[in-house]
Amino acid sequence: MKYILLFFFFTSFVTMSQSIAWRQLSSAVLEEAKSENKIILLNLKANWCHWCHVMDDSTYSNLAVQEYIETHFIPVKADQDANPELSARYKEYGWPATIFINGNGEDVVKRAGYISPEPFLRLLKAIVADPSPEEETGFPTVLKASPDSDKSVLNDLQKAFENALDYEDGGFDQDQKFIENDTYEYALFNGKEVKIKNWIKTSVNGARKLCDPAWGGVYQYSTHDDWEHLHFEKLLSIQTRYLRIFHYFNLYFPEEETAQKEIDGILRYINRFFKHENGLYSNAQDADLVQGEHAEEYFRLGDKERMKLGVPKVDTNTYTYNNAELARSLLILSYGNEGDGSYARTSHKILESLAQRKASNNLYFHAAEKRKVWSLKDQIAMALLLIEELKANQNNKEVKELLNTFLSAVAKQFINENGSAKSFVGDNGLIAQPLIEENIQLARIFNWYSYFSNQKKYKVLAKGLFDYLIHPEIAKVYYSQPALLMLSKELNEAPLEFVFVRNGEGSSLSDKARSYAPFYSLFSDYSKDELPQEKEELFGDFEVNVLFACTANYCSSPMYDKGDVGEFFK
């Protein structure tokens, strides 16, 4: 019996101690896969993800799975937050996302979420038996779409936008409940129908239930097609999104219960748990107190009771894209926060720290660790932050020069010959593909900048991106893209320009307009004696502070106080 027990403990120790020799994705790994005729298994996970922990503890700890992987595959593990080019590429499949890649860099099989050991082992064996890709790889190079196809695709997108919404409960008509930024922006600034306005109110009231009553901050989403089944991870990117959502809700729906409590809760939470001395903020907090174990009972507790048990692990990495997004959100909040410059100061401190990540190629590194792969996701977030800085002060010469140099570098290094934009530059072994959401965002940025800078080449770049996106072959791969509807509209009209003429102290009128204004807006502030000649003829006769909203063809009635500004936007 003693020997049997010793054998049992020995074999148990071997089973528990054996682990997979995970690698990092690189060109060398791709070359090895090609030369050895093996498939790469990419385990793309997140530090804060409950089911990632479960899959580590069950599936990847299973001895049979480990042995089969080590024999037949090249195992690669990556943190999706640390690798935004992978996160953006495979976001529909995670997290965890399990991606199988051949030596040519082609995706063979992609699977979403947790897979238990036995089904996973069957999947591994099936791929070894038939390693051919499940789907076609690559992307079309034909660009020019006819006006008819433009109209057809845009009509389909409008229908898809309307059909995607859950008008009864808010959010999308799907299992997960949350508010997505582009959908909210399009609904807020372009949705004229009562049912769209009601959807916004229902969605925001639902999203209040995602807010942590003890610590503040917003959980990622709810499942079961309602707002009650919470997933408890808190991501900085989610906090920055809801800061803007709640801010605009307060402005455009003043008759509804204010969301200021939710805004204050987000700021209280991130300043308590995420803030670093250099002004940057951590990436995320885990959904689990004990990794791999559901923490629903823990999150029902109040602050003191939670603190006695401990705090879920915080991923303390400070990433560029979500810190840039936070800085932009804080700037937008600052416009309505008269007399208190704390939001703007915090935003500027974030920008100062992120400026240290600028590389010699004029692009921005993703993290403090200066990995030589530059994601378009990071560059877009930095561009949006710099644009917001110029909206706050169009005379900031330093930011003007910085944005000009930066966007020139982005155009030179990211734009493909077919007009699309690749998702990253640098070498991680994979071919950089154009991704839909990123191409839309970049096109909107280029188009806005073409008007701000009077550089027509950026309009041409924006139109090239649009032509790629609207091509019927590309349109097959997406369903609802409200940002593409916004891009289509923006390409066909000049941005709304707000002209503030200062005849006395203060700039509260223009700040009020900045609070309300959509992305596609320009701002010009002048004292009366600084007016350019073309504006002197229009605005030179006013003797008090006054604000105008101007299109290419006409200007609004003069706005003399905040009430006028609010009425204009309503």
At 6-17, the pLDDT tens digits run: 444 444 444 444
pLDDT score for 570 = 82
Q: Which residues lie across from 284 on neighbouring strands?
A: 235, 315
- List domains and CATH numbers for the chain: 2-129 (3.40.30.10), 175-274+284-317 (no CATH), 496-569 (3.40.30)
pLDDT in tens, 234-256: 999 999 999 999 999 999 999 99
Mean pLDDT, residues 316-337 taken together? 96
pLDDT score for 314 = 98
507 pLDDT higher than 70: no
pLDDT score for 14 = 40
pLDDT score for 159 = 93
Confidence label for 117 from pLDDT (cuts 50, 70 and 90): very high
pLDDT score for 139 = 56
22 pLDDT higher than 70: yes
pLDDT score for 11 = 42
Tokens of 474: 């590309």
Q: Among candidates 213, 214, 270, which has minimal Cα distance to 237?
A: 270
pLDDT in tens, 388-428: 999 999 999 999 999 999 999 999 999 999 999 999 999 99
| Minimum mean pLDDT range among 265-274, 286-295, 402-411, 503-512 | 503-512
Mean pLDDT, residues 182-190 taken together? 96
User: What percent of the chain has pLDDT above 70?
Assistant: 94
Q: How far apart are CA 257 and CA 241, in angstroms?
A: 19
Distances (CA, A) of 536 to 457, 531, 569: 29, 5, 25
pLDDT score for 148 = 57
Mean pLDDT, residues 489-497 taken together? 96
Mean pLDDT, residues 257-280 taken together? 98
Confidence label for 339 from pLDDT (cuts 50, 70 and 90): low
Q: How far apart are CA 75 and CA 54, in angstroms?
A: 18
User: Considering the chain, what is the average pLDDT of its residues?
Assistant: 92
φ/ψ bin of 28: left (φ > 0), alpha (ψ from -120 to 50), beta (otherwise) = alpha
229 pLDDT higher than 70: yes
Q: How many CB atoms lie within 10 A of CB 335?
A: 23
470 pLDDT higher than 80: yes
Q: Phi and psi for 317 in degrees, rounded to 5? A: -60, 140
Mean pLDDT, residues 169-188 taken together? 96
| Minimum mean pLDDT range among 179-188, 324-333, 543-552 | 543-552
Distances (CA, A) of 454 to 66, 386, 449, 459, 498: 59, 17, 8, 9, 17
Q: How far apart are CA 336 and CA 562, in angstroms?
A: 11
Confidence label for 147 from pLDDT (cuts 50, 70 and 90): low
Mean pLDDT, residues 130-158 taken together? 72
